[in-house]
Amino acid sequence: MIALFAKCSLGAFAVLLIALLSKTKNFYIAGLVPLFPTFSLIAHFIVGTERGVEALRATALFGLYSLIPYAGYLLAVYLFSARYGVWMTLSLAMAVWVVLAAGLLVSWSRLSPALG
């Protein structure tokens, strides 16, 4: 239960930090906070200790490929924000992320070696 509370606290801290940074003159730094590997550290620790080094390496490689949907999301936000309001921009950008993430999952499951 303490581990769950610690994980929730990390997420709450990240949200608080984003909210505070977005109000400063360096508001753009708020976009860097979600990229701190808080949840990746947790996932990598669990996979590495429960599944071993090969699974950890596969998880890290998949994480590199997962940057593709995120880059698509950011590009969509950048492009759509010149034409649409915030709500429409973010909705369309999320749709781009979902499509690219689905494509990644399908590709990974077909092309990656079976990991057991």
Residue 64: is its pLDDT beyond 80?
yes
Q: Are residues 24 and 76 in the same domain?
A: no
Residue 59 pLDDT level (bands cut at 50, 70, 90): very high
Residue 39 pLDDT level (bands cut at 50, 70, 90): confident
* 7-19: pLDDT as tens digits: 788 788 888 999 9
Q: Are residues 11 and 58 in the same domain?
A: no
Q: Provide the sign of the torsion angle of the four alpha carbons 110, 63, 2, 10, taken in this order.
A: negative
Q: Is residue 44 part of a domain?
A: no
Residue 60's domain spans which residues?
Answer: 52-116
Question: Does 15 or 94 have the greater pLDDT score?
Answer: 94
pLDDT of residue 5: 84
The predicted model gives 98-106 an average pLDDT of 96
> Distance (Å, rounded) from C-alpha 115 to C-alpha 101?
20
pLDDT of residue 2: 83
Can you point out the beta strands (E) in 29-115? none
Give, to the nearest 10 degrees, the angle between helix 2-21 and helix 38-50: 150
Residue 48: is its pLDDT beyond 80?
yes
Q: Are residues 77 and 103 in the same domain?
A: yes
What total of structural domains would you count in the chain?
Answer: 2
pTM for the model stands at 0.77
Amino acid sitting at position 96: V
Q: Are 34 and 69 in contact (CB under 8 A)?
A: no
The predicted model gives 14-25 an average pLDDT of 91
User: 106-112 contacts: CB < 8 A, separation 24 or more?
Assistant: 108/62, 108/65, 112/58, 112/62
Q: Are residues 26 and 80 in the same domain?
A: no
Cβ atoms < 10 Å from Cβ of 106: 10
